[in-house]
Structure 1
């Protein structure tokens, strides 16, 4: 393994978006950098989620398409938080949908699953 490796997922969003405040509203994500198209829509947006980096990228003609276009998501972005219930409530208030409510599992985790407004799946969890 190479030193200083960082995992930074890239979520594909529909073309033409200018406002993705959902991530700030749902998860307190902070915008780091933005690359806009000529029409001011988002080309690439770099965000920080409590120090963890992730990117939003507009859809382009390749194997990377938005869940909206695919009709499903094949990945779940899993985040560890201090209070699963509070983060889920905040995400729902921002427009997310709960697909599995928060519950404690016998393997020592409290977890909930949500889908964001662009169709990306998230698992909100805490080791208990």
Structure 2
């Protein structure tokens, strides 16, 4: 089995780790000793946080994004609400669309997250 673990560029890695812990219940899995890179996990889904540098910027810093993240969870309504309460910007309310229960938020660094689950047939 293969997995894809995105590496999100943020201006402040420790602050972002705290936000994702509050917003998504993320837990820290690995931290590079200087704290500039942290691996997090949400309900078994892993992703990384890295600091900005000359060749990488958070989406909010450049005014665009090249991708968005889709977080598939058991209770997307609860996680969407939790993320908004933690400071995420609601983009799309939770709806049933195209066979999915899904909504989206923008995190404080400009990353777009769809939060959802596939609906039963």
- Give the structure-2-normalised TM-score: 0.89
> Whose Rg is larger?
1
Show the counterpart of 2:110.
119
Partner Cα distance (1:7, 1:115) in 2: 21
Structure 1 gap ranges (5+): none
Show the counterpart of 1:69.
61
Q: 1:27 aligns with which of 21, 24, 27?
A: 24
Structure 2 gap ranges (5+): none
Q: Indicate the structure with greater helix content.
A: 2
Partner Cα distance (2:22, 2:39) in 1: 16
Aligned CA RMSD, in angstroms, stands at: 1.5
- Give the structure-1-normalised TM-score: 0.84
Describe the SS at the equivalent of 1:11. Answer: strand
Q: CA deviation at 1:36?
A: 4.8
Q: CA deviation at 1:81?
A: 1.2
Whether 2:37 is the aligned partner of 1:44: answer yes
Q: CA deviation at 1:35?
A: 2.0
Q: CA deviation at 1:113?
A: 0.9
Equivalence map 1:51-66=2 (5 Å): 51-62=44-55, 64-66=56-58
Partner Cα distance (2:71, 2:94) in 1: 13
Partner Cα distance (1:19, 1:65) in 2: 16
Show the counterpart of 1:84.
76
Q: How many residues align?
A: 118
